[in-house]
Amino acid sequence: MNRSALFFSCCVLLAGTLAAQSASNCRVGDDAEYTKQIREYTTEPFFSTELVDHLPSSSCVPSPEKFLQHIIGAPNVLDHVEQINAYMRLLEKSTPRVKVFSIGKSEEGREMLAVMVSDEENIRDLERFKQITGRLADPRGLSDTEAQKLIADGKPIYWADGSIHSPETGAPEMLMELAYRIAVEDTPFIQKIRKDSIVMITPVVETDGRDREVDIYMHHVKHPQDPRYPLIWWGHYVAHDNNRDDLGLTLALSRNMLKNFLEWHPTVMHDLHESVPYLYIMTGTGPYNAWLDPIVISEWQRMAYYEIEEMTKRGVIGVWTHGFYDGWAPNYLLSIANGHNAIGRFYETFGNGGADTQVRKLNPPDTNREWFRPNPPLPEVKWSARDNINMQESAILFGMNNVASNKNEFLNNFYLKSKRAVAKAQTEGPAAWVFPADDPRPAEQARLLNLLAQQGIEISRLENDAQIPSAAQKESADSRPRSNENSSKTGTDKDRDKDRDKDKDTNKPVTLPKGSYVIRMDQPYSRLADMVLDTQYYSPRDPRSYDDTGWTLGALRNVKTIRVVDTALLSKPMQKIATIQVAGTITGSGGTYLVNHNADNTLATFRYKLADVAMEAAEAPFEADGVRFNAGTFVIRNADRGKVEAAAKELGIPVHAVASAPKVATHPLQAPRVAMVHNWTNTQNDGWYRVAFDELKIPYTYIADTKLRQTDHLRDKFDVIILPPGGGFGGASLSSTVQGIPMRGAALPWKNTNEMPNLVAPGLDETDDIRGGLGYTGLANLEQFVRDGGLLIAAQSSSSLPVAAGMTQMVSANNPPGLNAPGSVLLSIVDDSKSPIAYGYTDKLYVYFHDGPVLNVGMNQPNPEANARSSGRGSPSDPDVIQARTYHEPEKAPKRSPREQELYIPEEVRQFGSLLLPPPAEMPRVVLRFAPEKDLVLSGMLVGAKDVAERPVVVDVPHGKGHVVLFSNNPFWRDETQGSFFLVFNSMFNYDHLDAGRSNANPSDQPRQATAAE
């Protein structure tokens, strides 16, 4: 590091004297030493091309080696963000062909860049080219003739970005050499790229993770005998999922990249990844995202095949397309481009997780020849960092040259896609999406609308009430969902026909109230809005999905959206608006303040903002001053009005002051001390919890499983402990949680040192030893914590931990073998509206469900197969008549609701098993339950729906003086599931009164008899 820093100052001085020179005055030759090393580090000729097997020298511009003191792709070395950015700035100083822009900072303050490389005249004219792409991006009012003139004058911008995934280390290095090569080299091939396009480079997307990864890798190089550190945090919040954030825009990198895209409108955005051998060029297997213009699908294919052909012609092995991913979900970083009418694509090259040269062995199917991989990778090769650089750099240069050579066609396609997006309202519809002004959750509504605005989507507001025919709309979050399975058993098609008939019956016009928000589909980014607000059907016949299959944002955020197909709406008076601010204030007078619980997440911020103010929760709905308040309403007695009002105003919360406290049972509403648990193997899922808590300013202690092991009397320190889903690379089973990283060898501290100064940042965790996991002691400490009156919240895969550890009587968790739920939006029903966990919710909620586990409560799950008749005479519905005895009709089994069935304990069991049975007050309480099978799926795919239908989603289980609350869904998923957040917040705020509203009646006393009608 010091070496390079020294060299940096020397080069800056050098560059300062050269900056004024025109690029054409520079002498370009061959950098023989650099070229020699390229050839030395390339392990096979079939991992290189003539584009990258050498490096030109320049009398003006320092090569990467001059600055870094190693060539790009040299073994055993990687560079930190500071060096990479400094080199890019050095290029800017050394040649008029490079200009560097800062595009923002990461969570930990590291800078992200956009490095523009092109001909000197193009760089001088960047503003004009930016205006041209901007005009083509919004072609409203532009004639085709004017458009063609702009296209002829314009330059496509090709944006290459590196290392969003921190262990994929090659691209940031490669992009330094690429910037240099394009700026310096004088072959006609490179000149074409410079003349007829603008290359834009973001060398490191995940800057925080890059520095941690380089620390760990360079530590490994210095201490090859030591066990290698895992990369515990990549970015500040999430790991690999940082390129699944385009729907939530929660991470700084997503926001910075999007903002930069909207500033320049690059024609192509190209993410550089490393995983599969040797070079996979994205086209995907399909099903492709159904809201994209088909033009872009062709562009993916055409670009991929061009690059494959050029590489293959040169004898390069293992370049292929198709396979690997699907092209369905719009959550990837490259969706920034595809969602805004440009081209988003990516490569996967064969990374090494560093710069080691290694023998890499492959097995089928990686080595299989397939129709999409006629020239497959080899079973064994020596693979180097330079090989990786050669593959990435050669292929992307072909891509860039292709775009420059066909610049008008690419720009014209961009124009066409933009124009066709504006025509969407009239062509394929719908006309608009409406967010009605009377949504009970104005804060979440505003948050979703502001997110769309951040994506560049225009929002208008109705100036008057507007009527639309009911047949022309469908309220998405309230629409009847459908089953996903192509099974004749479900009668899906019939149900759907019935639904359609019902829609016809109720042909009353619908009034959209004045002030409703309208997302018009006659705007450039109509497709993106439609894509995120619509429902998704993913056929089980399609190839296995690569990521989420459903993502309907209105439903996941518990915000009402209406799909309007009648274009008459577009001519109603409406005003375009920018961002939406919800007004908060106090109305009425008196010393008691009421805050209606509507499950808007700002209420959680409010509770903590006034943490020292005593609040209570109303245990039932009530009326005061003629206003109806929901169960869970915050009741604040005798507080300082100014203080309450300031918080209400800041957070946009309406508060009602009343003279006397309402006559309703209440209990204290706590602002509890929360611990958020992580382990030392995978921090990804807890990252989405942390980012949501941080955004809402909800305080918590970030605590390692190893620390739980070392801390007894947890109850003295915390009221609530949250176990976000484990899994990923970590595993969530009892076994893996107890073991953690095995206690072998020496202690492994995770702390900043001189050698690794970037491991820990404020908000992250450190320790003297990452080994040992939760351990048996940690498990016992957790159990003791609950028995002492604490609340343990365990979500999704982590819910199996308290279940397996014996903290939840009468609950089991399983993963049904036939279940395939790759990330879908499912309907759930509030089963116990009196539970504090359900405060603020209405009767139903859409939740995100991914693979389970499926929770079961009680001892007697009905087995539908059990009632099937034996083989014998007659038809399946005929009685089984046993020969030589009088026929007695069997007694009909009593019909029980899912809840009754769960709590039902047969008389014999009560007699003989009473020792093992919990008393009614300790029975699990199902708060939220999945809808029946026919109503279950709103968006995405669910195979095995019968294993999920009517099963518990949220279960509250008393244990000792405390509670365990289990979630089968993931309430904090990629900052998309704002609608589910308050299930967790309610659990927290009411942690010491979760038994409020509990009914301890035992339904087994009076089983409901089946009637003829059933």
Report the nearest approach of Zn ion to the CB of residue 216 (Å): 17
Closest CA to 924 of 830, 1003, 832, 858: 858
Residue found by looking up tokens 């619908």 in the block:
510
Tell me the H-state helices in 439-552: 442-454, 492-505, 526-533
- Greatest Cα pair distance, the chain, in angstroms, is 112
Report the nearest approach of Zn ion to the CB of residue 304 (Å): 17
Report the nearest approach of Zn ion to the CB of residue 210 (Å): 13
Residues whose CB is less than 8 angstroms from the CB of residue 860 and which lie 6 or more positions away in sequence, other chains included:
901, 902, 904, 905, 906
Give dist(CA 645, CA 587) in Å, integer.
10
The residue among 197 and 335 lying less far from Zn ion, judged by its C-beta, is 335
User: What length is written for the chain?
Assistant: 1014
The residue among 334 and 953 lying less far from Zn ion, judged by its C-beta, is 334
The residue among 234 and 981 lying less far from Zn ion, judged by its C-beta, is 234
User: Which amino acid is located at 351 in the chain?
Assistant: G
The residue among 355 and 988 lying less far from Zn ion, judged by its C-beta, is 355
Residues whose CB is less than 8 angstroms from the CB of residue 159 and which lie 6 or more positions away in sequence, other chains included:
114, 200, 201, 202, 261, 264, 266, 268, 269, 270, 337
Please write down the HEC assignment for all residues of 25-79: HCCEEECHHHHHHHHHHCCCHHHCCCCCCCCEEECCCCCHHHHHCCCCCCCCCCC
Q: Which residues contribute to the site for Zn ion (CB under 5 A)?
A: 165, 168, 273
327-354 core/surface letters (b: 16 or more CB in 10 A; e: else) = bbbbbbbbbbbbbbbbbbbbbbbbbbbb
The residue among 155 and 165 lying less far from Zn ion, judged by its C-beta, is 165
Report the nearest approach of Zn ion to the CB of residue 275 (Å): 6
CA angle centred on 78, ends 77 and 80, rounded to 5° = 140
Give dist(CA 311, CA 953) in Å, integer.
51
The residue among 97 and 165 lying less far from Zn ion, judged by its C-beta, is 165
Report the nearest approach of Zn ion to the CB of residue 712 (Å): 41
The residue among 167 and 330 lying less far from Zn ion, judged by its C-beta, is 167
The residue among 273 and 345 lying less far from Zn ion, judged by its C-beta, is 273
Report the nearest approach of Zn ion to the CB of residue 163 (Å): 8
Report the nearest approach of Zn ion to the CB of residue 253 (Å): 13
Give dist(CA 283, CA 320) in Å, integer.
10
Orientation angle between helical segments 407-422 and 144-153, nearest 10 degrees? 140
The residue among 165 and 447 lying less far from Zn ion, judged by its C-beta, is 165
Rg (CA), the chain: 31
One DSSP character per residue, 551-607 reads: --HHHHTT---EEE--GGGGGS-EEEE-------EEES-SSEEEE-----THHHHHH
The residue among 159 and 839 lying less far from Zn ion, judged by its C-beta, is 159
Tokens, residue 445: 């509504």
The residues pairing with 382 across neighbouring beta strands, listed in sequence order, are 359
Q: 731 in helix, strand or coil?
A: coil
How many Cα atoms within 13 Å fall on the side-chain side of residue 539?
A: 9
The residue among 167 and 584 lying less far from Zn ion, judged by its C-beta, is 167
The residue among 92 and 213 lying less far from Zn ion, judged by its C-beta, is 213
Residues whose CB is less than 8 angstroms from the CB of residue 500 and which lie 6 or more positions away in sequence, other chains included:
none
Tokens, residue 787: 């028995």
